[in-house]
Amino acid sequence: MQVLILVIFGFVFTLQAAWAETVYVSNEQDNTVSVIDGSRLQLVDTIPVGRRPRGIGLSADRQKLYVAVGDDNRIDVVDLKTRKIEGFLPSGEDPELFVLHPDGRRLFVANENDNLVSVLDIPERRIVTEVEVGVEPEGMGVSPDGRYVVNTSETTSMLHVIDAQTLELVDNVLVGTRPRMAQVSADSRQIWVSSELRGTVEVFDTETREPLAKIGFEVPGVPHELIQAVGIQLTSDGSRTYVALGPANRVAEVDAKTFEVLRTYLVGQRVWHIALSPDGRRLYTANGNSSDVSVIDLENREVVKTIGVGRSPWGLVVAP
């Protein structure tokens, strides 16, 4: 008996050591953030935030959570120790997605209704400048070397590349219809952009903006129109890219070197944004229409759990 208890203790301890992360999920229709304990894969808390929470991200010290609450025209700041809102940041009108610059100080925010990317100085709590982009700015990414901020505009269907120093537009590249997410690879050399309505992912060279690849997806039995590309997650080792296929209810795994689609995982309905665990072994998906989060074990290549969260989960972030 004692041995058994010890074994169980040991097992739980190992699990916790390996899976100590916490997942935060923004629920667009519930005006809440769900908190999932990554060691037990259970919903442990729900934090009330402002209206229409979508974009979600961590502060540089990982002690705070930023949540863009579009209908309140601000970014709520949640203290992760107390799990309470401790204040807000001015974001400009209708913030949707944002990205924290590696300097830890500036937040680049897409203002969906104003065709702007706002540059927010966090310590000073003010918008230092605005960059005019296309209609309905959405996706926000930053190169890990800090040189470029990238943005997509949904209705204009463009990738906008902003010099993070001069805060001027370097380039505007036409991409597939209704681009959603833009992410820069860990080596800062590639920009990956998803197109919701074309159901494609395009890859560009960061420096030259030359197209490197255009990746399409097929799911047997799912009509072409329902295969849409939304959330993107690139692994830190540059080997894989995961793509959320929206109403196809699948996440695709792509070889980031050959651009070949390796497999798809069946997850919840209308999978929107996705996030990798810090060790890169699990992928969490926000499933908007089934109001849950799927957990994919990437080593064993299977969906291991579905966790109910609030209504219309939209974005998620994983804290170590």
Partner 1 sequence: MSFVLILLTLLLAVPVMAAEGVITIAVVTQERDPVQPVSPLDREIRDEGVAGARLGIADNVTTGRFTKQRFVLVERTVPKGGSPADAVRVLGAEGIRFVVTDLDASALVAAASDAHAREMLLINARAPDDELRNEACRANVLHTMPSRAMLADALAQYLMTKRWRRWFLVTGSQPGDRLLSAAYRQAAKRFGAEIMAEREWTFRPGHARTDTGHVTLQSEIPALSQVADYDVLVVADEANEFGDYLPGRTARPRPVAGTHGLVTAAWSPVSEQWGATQLQARFEKFAGRRMGAVDYAAWAAVRAIGEAAIHSRSSEPSAIMGYLRSADFMLSGFKGQGQSFRPWDGQMRQPILIAGPRLLVSVSPQAGYLHRGSELDTLGTDREESRCRF
For partner 1, the binding residues (CB under 8 A) are 112-113, 115, 134-136, 153-158, 172, 174, 177-178, 196-198, 223-226, 247
Residue among 199 and 310 whose Cβ is closer to partner 1? 199
Residue among 77 and 229 whose Cβ is closer to partner 1? 229
* Residue 200 C-beta: closest distance to partner 1, Å: 11
* Residue 126 C-beta: closest distance to partner 1, Å: 23
Q: Which amino acid is at 216?
A: G
Residues found in the chain: 320
Residue among 213 and 222 whose Cβ is closer to partner 1? 222
Residue among 68 and 295 whose Cβ is closer to partner 1? 68
* Residue 179 C-beta: closest distance to partner 1, Å: 10
* Residue 230 C-beta: closest distance to partner 1, Å: 12
Q: How far apart are CA 107 and CA 40, in angstroms?
A: 32
* Residue 205 C-beta: closest distance to partner 1, Å: 19
Q: Which amino acid is at 142?
A: V
Q: How far apart are CA 267 and CA 264, in angstroms?
A: 9
Task: Please count the other Cβ atoms lying within 10 Å of the Cβ belonging to residue 33.
Answer: 28
Residue among 107 and 158 whose Cβ is closer to partner 1? 158
Residue among 21 and 30 whose Cβ is closer to partner 1? 30
Task: Please count the other Cβ atoms lying within 10 Å of the Cβ belonging to residue 144.
Answer: 12
Contacts of 11-19 spanning 24+ positions with Cβ under 8 A = 15/39, 18/279, 19/277, 19/282
* Residue 23 C-beta: closest distance to partner 1, Å: 26
Six-digit token pair at 307?
């966790």
| Helix, strand, or coil (residue 237) | coil
Residue among 220 and 223 whose Cβ is closer to partner 1? 223
Task: Please count the other Cβ atoms lying within 10 Å of the Cβ belonging to residue 218.
Answer: 12
From its phi and psi, is residue 229 left (phi > 0), alpha (psi between -120 and 50) or beta? beta
Cα 27–chain centre separation: 14
* Residue 170 C-beta: closest distance to partner 1, Å: 12
Range list of H helices, the chain: 2-18
Q: How far apart are CA 12 and CA 124, in angstroms?
A: 43
